[in-house]
């Protein structure tokens, strides 16, 4: 019988004990597989070594292997269990992670059969904000928050993953962000699009775009030219269209719009947002 993940973290991974079952997803820098390790169901992220941008892929992998990331331990964050610098004959570095599910928040948003009443929206937002507060308190800026990077467990809880774009606020604070490692354009804060150094408030902006998507269940800036959107977000304060009238809860709208303010200092902190959700009554 395969158990839920209980493997203790180890800095080395015995690849001979890994059985790969199937592909769960693939991106520019790596592929995630479902597998079995020491009789535990796990997820295995393998770095692409044949990618055109090998430097970026390796930087992404190294970011996820930082001690600060490996030591993250929170119910709303995917836990890394082991690291290997090489995997089988292909020599592909990999991360062994807890298996959560095959379903992301993006899948839930896109599934018209999935009910998302206010209570569920509040739970999802609250759990993501709880995780981000913990991440920020650990000195980490995620920089790639989006529904596709939030897994939904069988009990409905949320778990943030994919720290490949993350940066650390104490590391060279005046260094501009690595543009090719700063996530999906629609969720990027204006200051990142300008090439400024990342701060915790960049994640707050991304969270606001997620709030909009959780409420509307639509794609931000759908069918619009990426370069035009980037220019207008920076120069014209473009944001996704806000539902009108009774189509959106006023408290939700006010929090969302404050969180995507153009100036980072005008946005609430994730701690403020977490506290706001905790004080709401359905």
Residues at the annotated binding site for ATP?
A: 45
Which of 73, 91, 110, 144 is the catalytic position? 144
Known binding-site residue numbers: 45
10 Å CB burial of residue 246 (0-12, 13-18, 19+) is exposed
Instruction: Compute the distance between CA of residue 176 and CA of residue 197 in angstroms, rounded to an integer.
Output: 4
110 is catalytic: no
Sheet order of strands, 80-84 included: 18-26, 30-37, 40-47, 94-98, 80-84
* Residues assigned a catalytic role: 144
């Amino acid at each position: 019988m395969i158990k839920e993940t209980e493997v203790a973290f180890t800095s080395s991974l015995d690849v001979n004990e890994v059985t790969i079952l199937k592909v769960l997803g693939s991106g520019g820098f790596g592929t995630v597989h479902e597998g079995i390790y020491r009789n535990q169901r796990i997820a295995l992220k393998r770095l692409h070594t044949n990618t055109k941008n090998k430097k970026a892929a390796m930087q992404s992998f190294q970011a996820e292997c930082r001690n600060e990331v490996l030591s993250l331990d929170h119910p709303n964050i995917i836990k890394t269990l082991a690291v290997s610098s090489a995997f089988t004959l292909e020599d592909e570095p990999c991360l062994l992670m807890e298996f959560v599910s095959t379903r992301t928040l993006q899948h839930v948003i896109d599934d018209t059969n999935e009910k998302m009443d206010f209570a569920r929206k509040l739970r999802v937002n609250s759990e993501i904000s709880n995780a981000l507060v913990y991440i920020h308190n650990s000195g980490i800026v995620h920089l790639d928050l989006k529904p596709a990077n939030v897994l939904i467990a069988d009990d409905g809880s949320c778990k943030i993953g994919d720290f490949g774009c993350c940066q650390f606020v104490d590391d060279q604070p005046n260094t501009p962000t690595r543009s090719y490692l700063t996530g999906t354009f629609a969720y990027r804060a204006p200051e990142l699009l300008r090439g400024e150094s990342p701060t915790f408030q960049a994640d707050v902006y991304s969270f606001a775009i997620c709030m909009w998507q959780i409420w509307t269940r639509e794609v931000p800036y759908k069918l619009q030219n990426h370069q035009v959107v980037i220019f207008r977000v920076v120069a014209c304060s473009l944001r996704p269209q806000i539902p009108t009238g009774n189509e959106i809860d006023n408290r939700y709208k006010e929090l969302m719009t404050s969180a995507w303010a153009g100036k980072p200092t005008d946005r609430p902190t994730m701690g403020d947002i977490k506290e706001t959700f905790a004080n709401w009554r359905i």
